[in-house]
Amino acid sequence: MVYNIDRKQNKGGAKMPTDGYVVVIGGLNLDLAGLCGNIYRERDSNIGKIRMTVGGVGQNIAQNLVKLNVPTYLITVYGDDYFGKILSEECKNNNIHLDYSECIPNEKSSSYLYVTDDKGDMVTAVNDMKILEYMTPEFLGTKIDFINKASLCVIDGNVSKESIEWLAEHCMVPIFADPVSVAKMTRFQNVLKRIDTFKPNELEAGLMTGIDIVDEKTAQEAARALNEKGIRNVFISLGEKGILCSRDGEISIVPILPSNIVSVNGAGDCSMATIAWAGFYYKDKLSLKEIGQLTQAAASLTVEAEESVSPKLSVENVIERAKRFGDLDR
């Protein structure tokens, strides 16, 4: 399979469809990150860096999609506070359309604080996302016509169970879902048959199917079980073991690419965005293995950055890095 690049489009970008767009429905947070230095000590003050960036699963997915040259609309809510001004301005700077998002008067914007250890792994986090309760079925009902004109819709698990089930009933375009966490994955439990593409991690997939994932064999069993529940495409993140891709009896496990890891925060969001990008641009032209390779290539760029969205992410860089798998004719 050859990934066609139109270098006339812009700086190294792939030529994308001009008559489509993607809608992402989910969270928009101000992220406060504590990045530990070379030594991490639990219950102690650690030397490192503190960064403030725009985040949220929905926003991260949207920003990654924009970097992959996909016209993207984020449907979310934010407050009229200082954080809200930063969030809306940064989305504008990042070319994320907020036309169908809403600023809620007299409410605090969503925020997320996390700390990573000396290996870049998150050790603890606190989120304040109460404002997302405003994303009700009534809120979404005023935007459903626009959603249904999109090429596809990405939903993150921070959206309430009630709203996810409403979207499953009223959204007529392919739904790509990221369960976000074990605590929130059950929000999708009743609507799996309406989901086109699902990206859980191995713990979420195991709990969703009742299969204890301990090796490649049990991971494949869980993927097939999710397919049997009606999900067309299943991508299970296996951490350092890679990503498992499953569709219609076709299963492929793609390993991670060696990287100089700085922080793994945002890698899952980048993977979801890359899968959605492949669906938007290539549609059904790629095999699951090829989608997995592109996903792992993009994620490898993300973990090498301190930011949750890599400044180096681009169509050209993803395809170039995917060549490291060795069996791609590009």
Looking at the predicted structure, is the pLDDT value of residue 13 above 80? no
pLDDT digits over 260-302, tens only?
888 888 999 999 999 999 999 998 899 999 999 999 999 999 9
What's the rounded mean pLDDT across residues 41-70? 95
Q: Report the run of H or E that residue 71 belongs to, with start and end.
A: none
What's the rounded mean pLDDT across residues 53-74? 97
Q: How many percent of the chain have pLDDT more than 90?
A: 81
**Phi, psi for residue 302 in degrees, rounded to 5:** -65, -45
Output the pLDDT for position 41. Answer: 93
Top-level CATH class of 22-28+57-80+132-325? alpha beta
Confidence of residue 12 (pLDDT cuts 50, 70, 90): very low
Strands 243-247 and 233-237: antiparallel
What's the rounded mean pLDDT across residues 43-71? 95
Average pLDDT, the chain: 91
Q: What is the DSSP string of 89-145?
A: HHHHHTT-B-TT-EEETT-PPEEEEEEE-TTS-EEEEEEE-GGGGG--HHHHHTTHH
Q: Is residue 307 within 8 Å of residue 53, measured between CB atoms?
A: yes
- Residues β-bridged to residue 22: 72, 152
Output the pLDDT for position 16. Answer: 45
Distance between CA atoms of residues 305 and 27, nearest Å: 21
Distance between CA atoms of residues 143 and 16, nearest Å: 24
Looking at the predicted structure, is the pLDDT value of residue 250 above 80? yes
Looking at the predicted structure, is the pLDDT value of residue 125 above 70? yes
Q: Amino acid letter at 184?
A: K
Q: Is residue 152 within 8 Å of residue 62, measured between CB atoms?
A: no
Output the pLDDT for position 188. Answer: 97
Output the pLDDT for position 11. Answer: 38
Output the pLDDT for position 262. Answer: 83
Instruction: Name the 3-class secondary structure at 252.
Output: strand
Q: Which residues contact 138 (CB under 8 A, 6 or more apart)?
A: none
What's the rounded mean pLDDT across residues 31-39? 91
Q: How many percent of the chain have pLDDT more than 70?
A: 93
Output the pLDDT for position 207. Answer: 94
Distance between CA atoms of residues 188 and 143, nearest Å: 21
Output the pLDDT for position 327. Answer: 58
Name the residue among 103, 111, 98 with its Cα closest to residue 56: 111
**Phi, psi for residue 21 in degrees, rounded to 5:** -155, 165
Positions of E strands within the chain: 22-25, 29-36, 48-55, 72-75, 77-79, 102-104, 110-116, 122-128, 152-156, 175-178, 197-198, 233-237, 243-247, 250-254
Confidence of residue 83 (pLDDT cuts 50, 70, 90): very high
Confidence of residue 3 (pLDDT cuts 50, 70, 90): low
**Domain residue ranges in the chain:** 22-28+57-80+132-325
Output the pLDDT for position 171. Answer: 98
Output the pLDDT for position 64. Answer: 98
What's the rounded mean pLDDT across residues 165-186? 96
